[in-house]
Amino acid sequence: METVVSGIRPTGNLHLGNYFGAMKNFVKMQYKHKCYFFIADFHSLTTHPTPENLMENIKQVLAEYLACGLDPEAATIYLQSDIHEIPELYLLLNMISYLGELERCTSFKEKVRVQPDNVNAGLLTYPVLMATDIIIHKATKVPVGKDQEQHLEMTRNFASRFNRMYNVNYFPEPVAYNFGEELIKIPGLDGSGKMGKSEGPNNAIFLVDEPEVIRKKVMKAVTDAGPTEINQKKPEVIENLFLLMNAVSASETIKHFDDLYNDCTLKYGNLKKQLAEDIIKFTNPFREKIKELKANNAYLKKVAEEGAEKARKSAAKTLKEVREIVGFKEF
């Protein structure tokens, strides 16, 4: 049995990228391994949500976790901010992480580009906090999408550096995990390559989107003028639509549209209509459940409290041992 850790930032509703990149694997792993799935609410502060929204967003993601099938009896489900050992281990890890490696991190450079007026130190040390989340439970497997690959590499660096600096074999080196397959990247609908929460209104399909909203978004998806040569290579925006189909449609449906593309008779409108209906079919069961759970504040609170208690136990054990290793021994 492996120890598994992963989390999602509560900066908006879960979208298909979060689902296929992460959540689907959380659900698949929870009965086989020791799993810790949390809501990365400290991480969400790097983009400054307002105090009025923060708790609502957290509850929304928690309701979505449960609606997707996470079972609080099987997995430990908690809020990152409920585990006070996390900021302490984060502080200790900050002492062994270096400015150069943090500045080179792709996600940091991207954030500097998109929020130049808010390049806070939390953004710079984002990978240190993420490494803390993972190694505080001494995890070995981390189910994430492709965009998190570099963060996992940094996590391994911090873990092995700690071991080397203190001459111990304490932290395992965790790996990004997708059942032995390549990590997933679900594209957005606006041609931008990646589905994301902060990419603009027509980029992402959220699990809570109503059917009409899904139809509208998919019909607006970026395409080109259409194929002109038999069996030509698909340009990226078209490949993206097929990648989305791969996630939600039956294989015969995908083959049907692929054949039409290859003999230059495909009408994108028809493909989009089919894609929208398949997405709706896929998200339908989640929508009502999310609403129901969101309305049950007492249950969400209970799940969060029980999860925090379990997570704290594991985190406190690690922190106690780490303090010893670092040299904070009995007086």
Catalytic residues: 111, 194, 197
Among residues 3, 4, 9, 72, the one that binds ligand TYM under rule CB under 6 A: 9
172 binds ligand TYM (CB under 6 A): no
The closest residue (CB) to ligand TYM is 21
Does 145 contact ligand TYM by CB under 6 A? yes
142 touching ligand TYM, by CB under 6 A = yes
Q: Which span sits near ligand TYM by CB under 6 A: 14-22, 88-96, 236-244, 317-325?
A: 14-22
By CB atoms closer than 10 A (0-12, 13-18, 19+), residue 1 is: exposed
Smaller CB distance to ligand TYM: residue 9 or 215? 9
Closer to ligand TYM at the Cβ: 37 or 261? 37
Print the binding letters for residues 191-210 with ligand TYM: x by CB under 6 A, - otherwise.
---xxx--------------
d(CA 287, CA 232) in angstroms, rounded, equals 38
Among the listed ranges 71-79, 180-188, 249-257, 264-272, the one in contact with ligand TYM (CB under 6 A) is 180-188
- Of the pair 26, 268, the CB lying nearest ligand TYM is at 26
By the 8 A CB rule, do 110 and 148 touch? no
CA 265 to mean position of chain CA atoms: 37
Window of 85-93, 109-117, 140-148, 219-227 that interacts with ligand TYM by CB under 6 A: 140-148
What are the distances in angstroms from CA 147 to CA 49, 127, 172, 237? 22, 13, 22, 19
From the list 2-10, 158-166, 207-215, 268-276, the region that binds ligand TYM by CB under 6 A is 2-10
Coil, strand or helix at 284: helix
- Measured in whole angstroms, the distance separating CA 145 from the mean position of its chain's CA atoms is 6
What minimum distance in Å lies between the beta carbon of 238 and ligand TYM?
A: 18
CB atoms closer than 10 angstroms to residue 213:
13
Q: Is 17 in the site for ligand TYM (CB under 6 A)?
A: yes
In the three-class reduction of DSSP (H, G, I as helix; E, B as strand; rest coil), residue 141 is classed as strand
**Mask 118-137, x = binds ligand TYM (CB under 6 A)?**
------------x--xx---
DSSP bridge partners of 243: none
Residue 41 amino acid letter: D
* Residues β-bridged to residue 8: 39
The candidate with the shortest Cα–Cα distance to 70, out of 13, 26, 39, is 26
User: Under the criterion CB under 6 A, does residue 79 sit at the interface with ligand TYM?
Assistant: no
Whole-angstrom distance, CA of residue 235 vs CA of residue 261 = 12
Alpha-carbon distance 66 to 183, whole Å?
23
Q: In which residue are the tokens 């996630």 written?
A: 247
Q: Interface with ligand TYM includes 174 (CB under 6 A)? A: no
Residue 238 vs 266, nearer CB to ligand TYM: 238
Q: Please, where are the H alpha helices in 3-50? A: 16-18, 24-29, 41-44
- Using CB under 6 A as the binding rule, whether residue 304 contacts ligand TYM is answered as no
Binding map of ligand TYM across residues 36-65, x = CB under 6 A, - = no contact: ----x--x----------------------
**Which chain residues interact with ligand TYM by CB under 6 A?**
5-9, 17-18, 20-22, 40, 43, 130, 133-134, 142, 144-145, 147-148, 184-186, 194-196
